[in-house]
Amino acid sequence: MIAGIIAAVVVVLLVIVYISAYNGLIKGRTYVQESWSQIDVQLKRRNDLIPNLIETVKGYSHYEQSTLEKVVGLRSQLINGPADDHQKTMAVSDQLSNSLKSIFAVSEAYPDLKADKEYVKLMEELTNTENKIAYSRQLYNSSVASFNMKIQSFPSNIVASIHHFKISEYLQVPEEEKATPKVSFDK
């Protein structure tokens, strides 16, 4: 009788542990997917902003045609690239960020461009998008870290192997971004 009760209690406890481990894993995976979609939204937003930028700055002769062409090329590479290769996408995105930075750097030489309301607005939009890409990448990596920890630690590792949860890969952070983590085009 008593042995039966103890056995029942143990079984109930095990079931509870199992369920909560499973739910924790699901939550972790959802966080990872969610934070990737944050990045994706920002990449799309930037792709939408780039034609406006090109349109605004192309009248200024100092912009080398090659830089603008490079931006356009990288943009279409992002749009047409394989959507599920996150590392590749981010590598292209980083190149695009750098090219945009050089466009902004050239604009320093044009007081009337810098005073242009549309340009200032565009600049804030692009700065915002660049920062959001950086921040959502940070969020992605910290979500991956906690998800991977759940997959590898006891007892959720057992549940993870039963349900085939796989550890996720971190997004590589470019070297210069490690030193100064956020892009700040202004001031």
Partner 1 sequence: MLYDQIARNKRRTIYVLIGFVILVLAIGAAIGYVFFDSYVGGLILALVFAGVYGAIMIGNSTNIVMSMNHGHEITKEEQAPELWHIVEDMALVARVPMPRVFIIDDPSPNAFATGNNPQHAAVAATSGILERLNREELEGVMGHEMTHVRNYDIRLQTIALALAAAITGMVNLAGNFFWWGGGSRRSSNDNDNGGVLQIVMLVLSIVLVILGPIAATMAQMALSRNREYLADAGSVELTRNPQGLISALQKISTSEPMKEADPSSAALYISDPMKKKKSLTHLFDTHPPLEERVERLEKM
Q: Which among 159, 141, 162 has a CA at the least distance from the CA of 150?
A: 159
Quote the DSSP letter at residue 183.
-
Written as one letter, the residue type at 179 is: A
Note whether 89 binds partner 1 by CB under 8 A: no
Q: Which residues contact 29 (CB under 8 A, 6 or more apart)?
A: 147, 165
Tokens found for residue 115:
């005073």
In the complex with partner 1, the residue whose CB is nearer, 74 or 134, is 134
Q: Which among 31, 24, 28 has a CA at the least distance from the CA of 156?
A: 24
Shortest spacing between CB 142 and partner 1, in angstroms:
8
Note whether 166 binds partner 1 by CB under 8 A: no
Q: Which of 13, 76, 176, 181 binds partner 1 (CB under 8 A)?
A: 181
Whether 169 contacts 84, CB under 8 Å: no
Note whether 127 binds partner 1 by CB under 8 A: yes
Shortest spacing between CB 35 and partner 1, in angstroms:
9
Q: Which stretch binds partner 1 (CB under 8 A): 51-59, 87-95, 123-131, 156-164?
A: 123-131
The site for partner 1, by CB under 8 A, has a size of 18
Shortest spacing between CB 164 and partner 1, in angstroms:
26
Residues 26-45 interacting with partner 1 (rule: CB under 8 A): 38
Distance CA 3, CA 9 (A): 10
Note whether 138 binds partner 1 by CB under 8 A: yes
Note whether 128 binds partner 1 by CB under 8 A: yes
Q: Which of 96, 132, 160, 165 binds partner 1 (CB under 8 A)?
A: 132
Quote the DSSP letter at residue 64.
-
Q: Which among 29, 48, 49, 72 has a CA at the least distance from the CA of 37?
A: 29
Whether 174 contacts 94, CB under 8 Å: yes
Note whether 186 binds partner 1 by CB under 8 A: yes
The residues of the shown chain that bind partner 1, judged by CB under 8 A, are 38, 121, 124-125, 127-128, 131-132, 135-136, 138-139, 180-182, 184, 186-187
